[in-house]
Structure formats: C-alpha cells, structure tokens
Structure 1
C-alpha cells in the first residue's frame, strides 16, 4: 500500500507541474528549471488516519518556502502544515530536477515536528521523518505555483501507520 501511495504521489506531482507550466520540455534552446527562492501559502489535506480516536485526516493550510543552494540542484525548504488543532513544522532538503522552462520537480526529505503531540495535523500526530515529492513552476515574474505530497513515516502515536498529505499553493519570489 505504501508503494502505491508513494508512486501515486510522484505521478500526481509530475502531472501537476506539467499542467501548471503549460509547457513540455521540447527544445534544447529553452532554459529549463527555476532557481526561484519563494515563500507561499495554500491548502493542505491530510488523507490518512492513524486508527485511533483523534487521528482523523483533516484539511488545513500550508506555508512553504524554498531557497536554492547556488550552482547546485539542491534546495533548502521549509513547510508548516496547520490544521484545526495543531501544526507540523518541517525543515527539508531536496534534489531539484528541471523539466521545462521555469519548472522543476523535486524529491526531498526532512523531519516533521508536531507542535502538540497527540493532536492531529495534516501530517500525523507525532514527530516523524518525512519524504516529499512535488513540483513548482514560475508562472509570472514574481509568482510561483507549487504542489507536493508529503509522507510522514510512522507519524501516529500508538500506531505504526504512516501519514500522507497533499499541498498546493502560490508563492512570491524574492
């Protein structure tokens, strides 16, 4: 089941990125990728349940940011996923792959710190390692759209269940 969810997330993020960009990688002369540093916000949807009372999937919001390490395909990222009861704060590092003009897909890893253990966030109810797969595209001079999936490994108290959430948002390039 985890493999199916992970592969579904990868496909969703890749397709979303291509749709956002409106362009496919087709010409060698077109500069691919984006180095945009940005901060943005949007929606977050937890889609899993840990199996205990209070573990229900929930809808919330996100604040996400990116800063590319110069002359590398590596970025430092941060995200806050917030729900009705608590937030999960995530520092991450990603590998960015340019796929079209002003567009990247990325895969990364980090750690999710749940502010109030035992309270549901969009990514589980306890601290956990996490993996992210997503895409981003600069659609105007200072506007970036992004979408990703985050997989929290063993992210529920009193359960071996993993958590999965999907995010989408709009960011401001700085």
Structure 2
C-alpha cells in the first residue's frame, strides 16, 4: 500500500511539474524594454503658434533625461527646450511600456516652466501643463535614441491656442 501511495504521489507531482512547464511554455513572452537612465541632446521643433506677436513656430535644441525607477513601469523625466527667446523647462512623469528588446514607448505628463513668460519657446510662451508621447531605444551599448511629441495645453499668452513640439536626439545610458 505504501509503494502504491508513493507511486501515485510521484505521478501526481510529475504531472503537476510537466503541466506547469507546458503551461509556461504556452504563455506569450513579454518584450523586455529598455531599462536604465540616460541623458541626451538633439533638436526640437515647435510647429504651432498662438496667433500673436512673438509666438511663431520655432526650431531649436533639446536636452532630455530619464531617471528609471527600478522594478516599476514609470520614469521621472526632464526636458529643456532652448533656442528661442526663452527656455522651457519640463519635469515629467511617464508610464513606460516595452514594445521590443531594449525599446519602450512612453506616455506621461508634467508642466512646462518658461524662463521668461511672454518670450517664445518651442512649446509656447507661458507656463502650461504638458502631455508627452514618445519612444526610446538602446541601439548600441549605452547609446540611446529617442523621439517624442510634447503638447502644451493653453501654452500661449492672450490666446487659447495649444502648442505642439517634436523632439529627437541621441543619449548616453548610465
């Protein structure tokens, strides 16, 4: 009786282990996106204007960074848009979704602080809430490319217009 019980227990355990292995093999593999932090620089193009003087579309540069939060799908980001009459400084929080090996898309929000309100930047001419949507990918060891769009909500003085800016650049991952 004791041998039969041990044999039955061994068969049940083997079946459970085999089933668990088979079930895990059937689960789709989640892509492992890019982790880690980086800082980069590139170009920024404001493509809107508020319809008033000193708020035309503008081409300039950007410095952007990502501070990844370990074991969490969110990141702290910072962006500086420069090259106009003023500079836009943006702290942001994003949700990062892996879409391929070493590649993420991100969506988030923050606030744009203009160094001199009323002066032009790629993202309007006054302080405003910002929504961002972008992608980032590590293309070589510690080398990241990124690109995003930033939407400044009600970002122009004396206007109800929103601002839209596109950024792209290359960064160093650390």
Match of 1:71?
71
* Native 8 Å contact 1:106 1:133 kept in 2: yes
* Native 8 Å contact 2:31 2:99 kept in 1: no
1:102 aligns with 2:102: yes
Q: How does 1:156-167 map to 2 (within 5 A)?
A: 156-167=156-167
Residues of 2 paired with 1:132 and 1:118: CA distance? 22
Q: Deviations over 1:23-49 (max 9, x none)?
A: xxxxx5585201120000000000000
Q: Deviations over 1:86-139 (max 9, x none)?
A: 110000000000000000000010000000100000000000000000000000
Residues of 1 paired with 2:109 and 2:84: CA distance? 25
Match of 2:7?
none
Normalising by structure 2, report the TM-score.
0.82
Unaligned 5+ residue runs, structure 2? 1-27
Residues of 1 paired with 2:30 and 2:93: CA distance? 27
Alignment RMSD (CA, Å):
1.4
1:147 aligns with 2:167: no
Residue 126 of structure 1: SS of its match in structure 2? coil
Match of 1:46?
46
- Higher relative contact order (Cα pairs below 8 Å, separated by 6+ residues): 1
Superposition deviation, residue 83 in structure 1? 1.9
Over alpha carbons, which structure has the higher Rg?
2
Superposition deviation, residue 169 in structure 1? 0.1
* Native 8 Å contact 1:36 1:138 kept in 2: no
Normalising by structure 1, report the TM-score.
0.82
Query: Where in structure 1 do 4 or more consecutive aligned residues deviate above 3 Å?
Result: 28-31
